[in-house]
Structure 1
């Protein structure tokens, strides 16, 4: 039987013509790791509206985790982005890997407008920056499959307040960035170690730090 001493980490399959997705590369490197007495279980999600949530819900049921961090790629961002809020809308700029391209469709019909991360994201940012990992608080997870998964995750856990969860966006890997001159990147190994620290902080901190981390734009 699974116990609550499990950490569920998810990454995504490649999309948008890419051959790899560093979110899964970084997450899968932690499969089976022990962090603060908890065992990490990694799962790969399809880049597909609907199907991604089916896989996620099955993983939640299987692992009964104490913490959940879903990880996705945001090419063009220069830092690890700890997402603050998921919104109830799918509005795809490009089709997903199954050809779906929903426009102005709710993630969950009749669901609330938004959910906030329940991870201590400000304390996590503080610890990650102190350790040398470039990290920011992000005010938007977009409206593509990453936000779809983030919103679906928080909706699935809405009646389980003890299970803290959220979403982190990561930059391109150096291999990917080489195809886009000037694009920022972060090594996959670096992301993996940052995720390890993020999990540690999520388990240690009960009340988030009160630090300014807003955005003017």
Structure 2
């Protein structure tokens, strides 16, 4: 059976949970679009996250990869368009590292685009009532680090891959007054839709900024 690799991160920045991993593990083992979802938790650590990603790619041999990360302050499912070749950490990672203006891959290209049909996914999510948008920045912390490393590893492989940011869970937002959140059942239902489209949809060549 074909596999979809779904990754989430361990908690970081003082949080007790990370919604990306709660979401990923909730979908582990499901069949979506004729593919089995295999979920893997990655450390919020520069370098080590990519090492464990490489191990998962070699073991699972997926046809599609969706990496997920927490973005406190965002209010929807954000499909990332581009990963840039820079680590520039605002806070230390979970191992205490705080790289400043360092490349993810020395001598690598400046950036990679997602190879997921991100506009089709956003349109499909919105059509079913889920909040979603195309995002133009994945930041410069471990999420972007992972996204860039993923795209670098799979460049020209034919495997569809990309990154999605999600908001806090309600229990996290309770400790961040005014921060938006989405409940886990909503995130799970939306990500089922996103994964089905990720494996099969053709990209939309329309919409422009309307999907931003």
Pick the TM interval, shorter chain: over 0.9
Is the aligned partner of 1:203 residue 2:195?
Answer: no
Which of residues 35, 52, 55 in structure 2 aligns to 1:55? 52
Q: Which runs of 4+ in 1 moved over 6 A?
A: none
Alignment coverage as a number of residue pairs: 211
Cross-structure match for 2:175: 179
Contact kept, 8 Å, 1:137 with 1:213, in 2: the verdict is no
Contact kept, 8 Å, 1:10 with 1:42, in 2: the verdict is yes
Aligned to 2:172, the other structure's residue is in SS state helix
Task: Give the TM-score, by structure 2 length.
Answer: 0.97
Q: Distance in 1 between matches of 2:62 and 2:208?
A: 28
Cross-structure match for 2:14: 17
Cross-structure match for 1:164: 160
Cross-structure match for 1:212: 207
Q: Distance in 2 between matches of 1:99 and 1:213?
A: 40
Q: Name structure 2 gaps, 5 residues minimum.
A: none
Instruction: Kindly provide the CA deviation profile for residues 33-60 of structure 1, in whole angstroms up to 9, marking residues without a partner as x.
Output: 0112110100000000000000101000
Task: Give the TM-score, by structure 1 length.
Answer: 0.95
Contact kept, 8 Å, 1:92 with 1:101, in 2: the verdict is yes
Q: Distance in 2 between matches of 1:159 and 1:109?
A: 19
Cross-structure match for 2:134: 137
Q: Distance in 1 between matches of 2:60 and 2:70?
A: 24
Contact kept, 8 Å, 1:14 with 1:47, in 2: the verdict is yes
Q: Distance in 1 between matches of 2:118 and 2:129?
A: 16
Instruction: Kindly provide the CA deviation profile for residues 59-86 of structure 1, in whole angstroms up to 9, marking residues without a partner as x.
Output: 0000110000000000000111000000
Q: Name structure 1 gaps, 5 residues minimum.
A: none
Q: CA deviation at 1:211?
A: 2.6
